[in-house]
């Protein structure tokens, strides 16, 4: 009899990293996947569902305007618990460190359902950065029965903390990236035409993303830095897909909307974002996913955070932590852009986070374990 595997998704990064696994499990002769969306980031998640041409089996649609962590957590606990009680699966699969991830893992633990944690073992050792993700991820580790780590460092973290049943498989974001790269490569002319106003002769492209909860308090410093950088480097076009969070969106539009060489865009479908990443000269981001994607294109990365739990990015030499103060961002950007050797040293030769085969490895482990 086939075993039932519930794959639980709340945010866009979770969708990107779990849908390749969902598609892999659909081909299994011993496992049946059930796809559940909590709707933590409803609109952005549905972009990813559309890209992968899948629909969730259950959509809890729990997103609300200006939702608080406590309110969101309460709703997911209540609604998802009722669904898991009806489904009674053999395994709960969660990814990363979101509120959805933590709640789903705890519910699996409460109900005696085995929990598999994808992208386990990342640590920043600063519970405020990223917030609340660092604490979420550590709590998920406490209740996980199977730990799938992306890198040697994440494996070492879990072993040091006394956890077992660890399988180092790489990061599933590289699986999604390889899928998107093929589409973008085949249809490059179409994507370039869509962004025609951005691509002008001789203009370099710098891609910017900034959305993390812990950066809301620092967003004005980030905006001031971007304004100073853009005015100093008129030969560069800065492309900023703006997160829909009201705290981010209104501040960015007010602070950067009138600067000629800064292009503010609505949130992009994954394939369009990957196209811009593939064309970028440099990336400024606080995104964990982009830290894992940029090296596949050899694009240097400046991290808009105080610390990163993906330390492989910095240790591999293709990323620098720019911080979240105006001076640190401006100084780091100018150092890289105005000194060719510094820039050249940041061009990645390979991706330390994976080879695009993580989902296949995870499926093999799950089939063996069940």
Is residue 97 flagged as an active site residue? yes
Is residue 178 flagged as an active site residue? no
Token pair, residue 196, equals: 């025609």
151 falls in which pLDDT band (50, 70, 90)?
very high
Count Cβ atoms below 10 Å from residue 2 Cβ, excluding itself: 11
Strand order in the sheet with 236-241: 262-265, 236-241, 204-209, 282-285, 301-303, 319-321
- For residue range 295-319, what is the model confidence (pLDDT) as tens digits? 999 999 999 999 999 999 999 999 9
Is residue 127 flagged as an active site residue? no
- The β-bridge partners of 283 are 207, 301
- Extract long-range pairs of 186-194: CB within 8 Å, 24+ residues apart: 188/275, 191/271, 191/272, 191/275, 192/275, 192/279, 194/272
| Annotated active-site residue in 123, 211, 212, 227 | 211
Asked if 67 and 90 count as a contact pair (C-beta separation under 8 A), the reply is: no
| Annotated active-site residue in 14, 133, 279, 309 | 133
Element (H, E) at 32: strand 31-37
Mean pLDDT lowest for which of 18-27, 37-46, 225-234, 323-332?
A: 37-46
Element (H, E) at 277: helix 270-279
Res 281: pLDDT: 97
Does 88 score more than 80 pLDDT? yes
More confident residue, 201 or 207: 207
Is the backbone peptide bond immediately before 132 cis, with ω within 30 degrees of 0?
yes
42 falls in which pLDDT band (50, 70, 90)?
confident
| Annotated active-site residue in 14, 41, 42, 119 | 119
Res 39: pLDDT: 84
Q: Is 338 exposed, middle or buried (0-12, 13-18, 19+ CB in 10 A)?
A: exposed
Closest C-alpha to 359, from 101, 51, 25, 7: 25
Q: What is the residue-averaged pLDDT of the chain? A: 94
| Annotated active-site residue in 46, 213, 331, 355 | 213
Does 164 score more than 90 pLDDT? yes
Does 335 score more than 80 pLDDT? yes
Is residue 355 flagged as an active site residue? no
| Annotated active-site residue in 12, 14, 42, 97 | 97
- Say what the pTM is: 0.90
| Annotated active-site residue in 243, 305, 310, 361 | 243
Asked if 256 and 137 count as a contact pair (C-beta separation under 8 A), the reply is: no
208 falls in which pLDDT band (50, 70, 90)?
very high
**∠ at Cα 200 (194, 205), nearest 5°?**
80
Count Cβ atoms below 10 Å from residue 171 Cβ, excluding itself: 30
Res 231: pLDDT: 96
Is residue 59 flagged as an active site residue? no
Res 65: pLDDT: 74
Longest dimension (CA), the chain: 65
Length of the chain: 370
Instruction: Quote the percentage of the chain above a pLDDT of 90.
Output: 84
Asked if 153 and 311 count as a contact pair (C-beta separation under 8 A), the reply is: yes
Does 64 score more than 80 pLDDT? no
- For residue range 347-357, what is the model confidence (pLDDT) as tens digits? 998 899 999 99
DSSP string, 190-214: HHHHHTTTT--TT-EEEEEE---GG
245 falls in which pLDDT band (50, 70, 90)?
confident
Domains in the chain, ordered, with CATH? Answer: 3-171+354-369 (3.40.50.2000), 187-345 (3.40.50.2000)
Q: Is 370 exposed, middle or buried (0-12, 13-18, 19+ CB in 10 A)?
A: middle
Res 370: pLDDT: 86
35 DSSP assignment: E
Is residue 364 flagged as an active site residue? no
- The β-bridge partners of 92 are 6, 115
Count Cβ atoms below 10 Å from residue 251 Cβ, excluding itself: 18
């Amino acid at each position: 009899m086939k075993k039932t595997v519930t794959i639980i998704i709340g945010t866009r990064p979770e969708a990107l990293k779990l849908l390749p696994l969902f598609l892999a499990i659909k081909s299994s002769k011993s496992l049946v996947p059930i796809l559940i969306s909590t709707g933590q980031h409803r609109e952005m998640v549905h972009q990813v569902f559309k890209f992968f041409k899948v629909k969730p089996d259950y959509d809890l649609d729990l997103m609300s305007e200006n939702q608080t962590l406590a309110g969101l957590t309460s709703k997911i606990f209540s609604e998802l618990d009722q669904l898991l009680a009806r489904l009674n699966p053999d395994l709960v699969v969660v990814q990363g460190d979101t509120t959805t991830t933590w709640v789903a893992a705890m519910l699996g633990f409460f109900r005696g359902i085995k929990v598999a944690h994808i992208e386990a073992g990342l640590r920043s050792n600063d519970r405020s950065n990223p917030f609340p993700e660092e604490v979420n991820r550590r709590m998920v580790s406490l209740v996980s029965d199977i730990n799938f780590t992306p890198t040697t460092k994440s494996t070492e973290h879990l072993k040091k903390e006394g956890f077992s049943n660890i399988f180092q498989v790489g990061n599933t974001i590289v699986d999604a990236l390889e899928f998107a790269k093929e589409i973008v490569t085949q249809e490059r002319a179409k994507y370039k035409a869509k962004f025609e106003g951005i691509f002008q002769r001789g203009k370099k492209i710098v891609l910017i993303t900034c959305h993390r909860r812990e950066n809301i308090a620092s967003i004005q410093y980030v905006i001031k830095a971007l304004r100073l950088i853009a005015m100093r480097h008129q030969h560069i076009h800065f492309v900023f897909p703006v997160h829909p969070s009201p705290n981010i969106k209104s501040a960015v539009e007010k602070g950067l909307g009138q600067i000629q060489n800064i292009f503010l865009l609505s949130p992009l479908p994954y394939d369009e974002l990957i196209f811009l990443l593939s064309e970028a000269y440099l990336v400024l981001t606080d995104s964990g996913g982009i830290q894992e994607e940029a090296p596949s294109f050899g694009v240097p990365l400046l991290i808009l955070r105080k610390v990163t739990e993906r330390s492989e990015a910095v240790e591999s030499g293709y990323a620098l932590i720019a911080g979240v103060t105006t001076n640190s961002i401006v100084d780091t950007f100018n150092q890289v852009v105005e000194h060719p050797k510094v820039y050249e040293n940041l061009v990645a030769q390979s991706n330390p986070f994976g080879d695009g085969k993580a989902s296949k490895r995870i499926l093999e482990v799950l089939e063996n374990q069940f």
